[in-house]
Structure 1
């Protein structure tokens, strides 16, 4: 008689723990992504090129002024 009651009471506890673990893993993944993005050394704005430089203009006969 005690067996089915114990089993039925245990199942919701397992589901609660599973849901809590799933939520925690989502939060942990978001934290991990945030920390990795802070430590990312790549900065695209540091590599942005505005156009041909003076050497290109000297080689191709340009004046160096944007046209």
Structure 2
């Protein structure tokens, strides 16, 4: 009876070590997938960047600038 319990506990211990190794592999795979998804997201956001500077440029000096820089004749 005692011999069977020892053998069974070793089998259970090896199952736990197999699961912990699988867990580490799954964790690393998930981290890698998350990193890849982040890179892909940044790439897509860079490609579809909707900032168009021609919509935001200054059209010229305003009345305060003209009053300050008016030449004396």
TM-score range, shorter chain: 0.5 to 0.7
List runs of 5+ in structure 2 lacking aligned partners: 1-7
The aligned length equals 59
Counterpart CA distance in 2 for 1:18 and 1:38 is 30
Structure with higher RCO (Cα < 8 A, 6+ apart): 1
The root-mean-square deviation of aligned C-alpha atoms, in Å, is 2.7
TM-score computed with the length of structure 2 as normaliser: 0.60
Q: Which runs of 5+ in 1 are unaligned?
A: none
Inter-partner Cα distance in structure 1 for 2:43 and 2:13: 46
Pairwise CA distance, 1:21: 0.5
Partner of 1:12: 21
Name the TM-score, length of structure 1 as normaliser: 0.64
